[in-house]
């Protein structure tokens, strides 16, 4: 017998679809005591939200998130809106006693993220931020390899997150599909959108970051406004962001992210180099974890490419038979399964709002450093 968890979803774009899919799939593949009920979807355009709700099987619709948050037939609010709305919705939902699941990045900046985290913790409600790449089986295997001590003392952590979809100066900004280019909607550019993924994964795999030195660039300084093409608006979000850092464990980090790397569509890589071994992952080859084990016999040493599709690998037992693969959408279902399990066991799934606040504080330090040209300490890390 499963217990229902009544979900109210805000936002029906790319992430609204990814989360809806996860809610529909999770109990088909994972053995859980809790089953999400798709109670209500909310969006500003009634026509669009109705079509969305019909397609994904949401029972009802709302056009104002405030009404959704106040409904007493909803247990959890899931936020899939542009970043600008995350804070107000999360805080109102927490105050109404709802669980809160929020798309990444948690907030526009660290100050907002702190406010949200405090509100959530004051309300004592379960919470989660959807940094879905933690649930790529190969990345979860990297975590296992590190925790098993197979890397030894870590010296280096390296991550790149590269895309190429904003290179054309003719691409407009703003509106339902291009709000990521608008500082008022997104808060930050690739730092919030892409580096946040890399930093979340890095903090998970390699621990806290203490100090950073970074640089950012805006390559296209103004763009036409999508919903008002006669007008143009200055671009003030970062198009590219790179930084070096020191981790608390003594290792050195190097991060690079841009939307101007021609040919790179969703190139999200990480590498850790330790005294005893290294791991390497590339999201464009998502089923593989590369592992170098210095403990191998000298004449056999070399990178091995592990096809992470066996029953013994993270999450894979819940899906198909060994050797078959899963995709992008499954990372959201895996995330949701962990969240629901966390509700059952009382051991909250990560990243919580508090974990995601830490990511946001690293990003703040990177942007502060890019502005000043100096090293910046990550708040709370001293
Ligand atoms: C941006 O293009 C984007 O859609 C991000 O917002 C997602 O978080 C990332 O996973 C894929 O790229």
The protein residue with its alpha carbon nearest to ligand 1, atom 12, reads 266
The band of 311, judged by pLDDT with boundaries at 50, 70 and 90, is very high
pLDDT in tens, 95-148: 999 999 999 999 999 999 999 999 999 999 999 999 999 999 999 999 999 999
Residue bearing the bigger pLDDT, 226 or 1? 226
Q: Which whole number is the average pLDDT over 31-35?
A: 98
Query: Buried (b) or exposed (e) across 330-348, using 16+ Cβ within 10 A?
Result: bbbbbbbbbbbbbbeeeeb
- Note if the pTM is more than 0.85: yes
Q: DSSP characters for 129-193?
A: E--GGGGSHHHHHHHHHHHTT-S-SEEEEEEEEE--TT--TT--BBHHHHGGG-HHHHSSSHIII
Question: Could you tell me the residue ranges of all domains in the chain?
Answer: 3-132, 134-376
pLDDT at 294 (0 to 100): 98
- How far does the centroid of ligand 1 lie from the alpha carbon of residue 247, in Å? 25
Which residues lie with the beta carbon below 6 Å from any ligand 1 atom? 163, 193, 266
pLDDT at 381 (0 to 100): 65
CA distance 163 to 267: 6
If you compute the radius of gyration of the chain from its CA atoms, what whole number of angstroms results? 21
Q: Which of 19, 193, 351 to mutate to test the pocket of ligand 1 (most atoms within 8 A of CB)?
A: 193
CATH of the structural domain 3-132, one choice from 2.40.50.140, 3.40.50.300, 3.30.460.80, 3.40.50.720: 3.40.50.720
The protein residue with its alpha carbon nearest to ligand 1, atom 1, reads 193
Q: Which of 173, 264, 266 to mutate to test the pocket of ligand 1 (most atoms within 8 A of CB)?
A: 266
CA distance 37 to 23: 8
The band of 382, judged by pLDDT with boundaries at 50, 70 and 90, is low
pLDDT at 110 (0 to 100): 98
pLDDT in tens, 243-262: 999 999 999 999 999 999 99
- How far does the centroid of ligand 1 lie from the alpha carbon of residue 194, in Å? 7
- How far does the centroid of ligand 1 lie from the alpha carbon of residue 284, in Å? 13
CATH class, range 134-376: alpha beta
CA distance 172 to 22: 31
pLDDT in tens, 289-310: 999 999 999 999 999 999 999 9
Q: Which of 133, 194, 201, 238 to mutate to test the pocket of ligand 1 (most atoms within 8 A of CB)?
A: 194
pLDDT at 174 (0 to 100): 96
**Fold agreement (3-132, 134-376):** no
């Amino acid at each position: 017998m499963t217990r229902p968890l009544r979900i109210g979803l805000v936002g029906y774009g790319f992430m609204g679809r990814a989360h809806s899919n996860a809610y529909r799939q999770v109990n088909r593949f994972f053995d859980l005591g809790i089953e999400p009920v798709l109670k209500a979807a909310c969006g500003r355009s009634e026509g669009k939200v109705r079509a969305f709700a019909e397609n994904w099987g949401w029972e009802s619709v709302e056009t104002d998130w405030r009404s959704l948050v106040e409904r007493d037939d909803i247990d959890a609010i899931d936020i899939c809106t542009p970043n600008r709305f995350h804070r107000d919705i999360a805080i109102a939902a927490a105050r109404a006693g709802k669980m809160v699941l929020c798309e990444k990045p948690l907030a526009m900046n660290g100050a907002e993220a702190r406010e949200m985290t405090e509100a959530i913790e004051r309300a004592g409600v379960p919470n989660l931020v959807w940094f879905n790449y933690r649930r790529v089986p190969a990345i979860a295997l990297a975590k296992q390899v590190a925790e098993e001590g197979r890397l030894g003392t870590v010296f280096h952590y390296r991550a790149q997150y590269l895309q190429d979809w904003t290179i054309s100066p003719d691409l407009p900004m703003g509106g339902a599909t291009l709000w990521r280019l608008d500082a008022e909607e997104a808060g930050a550019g690739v730092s919030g959108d892409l580096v946040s993924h890399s930093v979340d994964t890095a903090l998970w795999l390699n621990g806290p970051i203490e100090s950073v030195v970074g640089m950012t660039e805006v390559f296209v300084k103004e763009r036409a406004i999508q919903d008002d093409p006669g007008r143009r608006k200055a671009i003030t979000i970062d198009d590219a962001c790179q930084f070096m850092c020191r981790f608390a464990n003594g290792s050195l980090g190097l991060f690079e992210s841009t939307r101007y790397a021609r040919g790179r569509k969703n190139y999200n890589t990480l590498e850790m180099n330790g005294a005893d071994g290294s791991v390497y992952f590339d999201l464009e080859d998502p089923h593989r974890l590369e592992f170098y084990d210095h403990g191998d016999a000298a004449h056999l040493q070399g990178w091995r490419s592990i096809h992470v599709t066996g029953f013994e690998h993270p999450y894979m037992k819940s899906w198909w038979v060994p050797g078959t693969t899963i995709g992008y959408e499954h990372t959201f279902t895996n995330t949701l399964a962990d969240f629901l399990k966390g509700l059952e066991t009382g051991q909250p799934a990560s990243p919580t709002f508090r974990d995601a606040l830490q990511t946001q504080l690293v990003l703040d330090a990177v942007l502060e450093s890019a502005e000043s040209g100096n090293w910046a300490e990550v708040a709370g890390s001293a």
